[in-house]
Structure 1
């Protein structure tokens, strides 16, 4: 079996230190000792410790994303989003140090690659709800609300001693969010203008009969309606 390249050894060593001792355990000295490399190697490969931590986050998040992506689309996109929420919270409780590394250190305009991938998957789940005519608000607002609430709940549970955690908090928050942004069924002919606008906007890419400029203009109008 071929020996692992230094980059892989460094990332795996840092990930192990993070899992065992939290963020404070991932020092340059500790990583170098565990990976069998010199300090300049870390800076040559990752730029700085922030770069290494971002690489560790992406590495550790890969398995989670594979698991989350493996959720097969069902006939009920709201149920799929519910399953994704539970998986997200479960990941945070199973790997608190990694979760906090990814979601607990907000840097405006500098989201870790792992967080961006998770956002893309969430956006996909929300778009499916919109296409089904079951989204009450714009896709952007729904995704932000789900993300912000899910992250807040998960970080709160992580900060609570295991024996004191109320896991019902997650279920309560999840159902409250879903009730706020989704509906039980598509709007009927008598109403549901906002839902209809959101649904049509989610499918604009399929409107081949319109030019790009026309789709952009219609997108702007529909977004305005969906925010009313």
Structure 2
């Protein structure tokens, strides 16, 4: 079977052919000859559009992952914490709907090299966490929160993929998500949205909020002043649960 005669230009046919072959092989092998035959094109056409076989694979993965990150633009709410929950669910669903894509994205990492394809999703998570920090809802710095939530989200998704479909414990996703959020949010932020205003009133919450705002706009501060202020705000943010010294 080939994609010859299907709608779409040569680039789209190559993407579809490569995706089908990757899915059929479980992501283990991909022959450029087989891709070209399936797409109904010659090898020079593949290299013209993608440069190499790895370029084609990267484009296929990027196309698949874009289907996960794009819905965020039209589904955001006024509550960054709820948006993080929705993003977590889209992440898990993408992995379960496209296990081959997901395994290639997260299962074949290289030491010291962040994945450029998944970077947009990571950036979106940081944006939501930054907004939460502005509102005094975070209990840890944005970067720490992003790394913790992403690690939990990826680990949960990979775990669910390995479970037989009929025995899959979807409640695991909810439990790990709420535990991950509890670890990074200010206690008041775990309450319903209308009751969260108290979070910003605490010293720790105010320090984290100010740290986020200063990082976004350090105008008027020297590099040394900026660094000193960040250090002081980090100390205040981390001491919110300790009594002030006499």
Normalization by structure 1: what TM-score?
Answer: 0.84
Tell me, in whole angstroms, the C-alpha distance in 1 between the residues paired with 2:135 and 2:109: 33
The DSSP-based 3-state class of the residue aligned with 1:113 is: coil
Tell me, in whole angstroms, the C-alpha distance in 1 between the residues paired with 2:146 and 2:233: 17
CA distance change for structure 1 residues 40 and 223 in 2, over 3 Å: closer, same or farther?
farther
Listed as ranges, the gaps of 5+ residues in structure 2 are 1-6, 190-195, 240-246
Q: Does 1:35 align with 2:39?
A: yes
CA contact 1:14–1:31 (8 Å) conserved in 2: yes
Match of 2:213 in 1: 203
Tell me, in whole angstroms, the C-alpha distance in 2 between the residues paired with 1:179 and 1:47: 45
Match of 2:13 in 1: 9
Match of 1:142 in 2: 145
Give aligned pairs, total. Answer: 223
Listed as ranges, the gaps of 5+ residues in structure 1 are none
Tell me, in whole angstroms, the C-alpha distance in 1 between the residues paired with 2:158 and 2:55: 23
| Runs of 4+ more than 4 Å apart | 205-209, 214-217, 223-228
Tell me, in whole angstroms, the C-alpha distance in 1 between the residues paired with 2:37 and 2:23: 16
Tell me, in whole angstroms, the C-alpha distance in 2 between the residues paired with 1:209 and 1:112: 32
Match of 2:4 in 1: none
TM superposition shift of 1:144: 0.3
CA distance change for structure 1 residues 58 and 188 in 2, over 3 Å: closer, same or farther?
closer
CA distance change for structure 1 residues 199 and 62 in 2, over 3 Å: closer, same or farther?
same
CA contact 1:11–1:52 (8 Å) conserved in 2: yes
Tell me, in whole angstroms, the C-alpha distance in 1 between the residues paired with 2:176 and 2:32: 39
Matches within 5 A, 1:129-208: 129-183=132-186, 184=189, 185=196, 186-187=198-199, 191-193=202-204, 195-204=205-214, 207=217
Tell me, in whole angstroms, the C-alpha distance in 2 between the residues paired with 1:42 and 1:110: 26
CA distance change for structure 1 residues 47 and 217 in 2, over 3 Å: closer, same or farther?
farther
CA contact 1:130–1:198 (8 Å) conserved in 2: yes
Normalization by structure 2: what TM-score?
Answer: 0.78
Which 10-residue stretch deviates more, 114-123 or 57-66?
57-66
Query: Relative contact order (alpha carbons < 8 A, sep ≥ 6): 1 or 2 greater?
Result: 1
- Partner deviation per Cα, 1:51-78 (whole Å, 9 max, x = no partner): 221111111122221112322231x221
CA contact 2:10–2:41 (8 Å) conserved in 1: yes
Match of 1:18 in 2: 22
Instruction: Compute the RMSD of aligned alpha carbons.
Output: 2.6
TM superposition shift of 1:181: 0.6
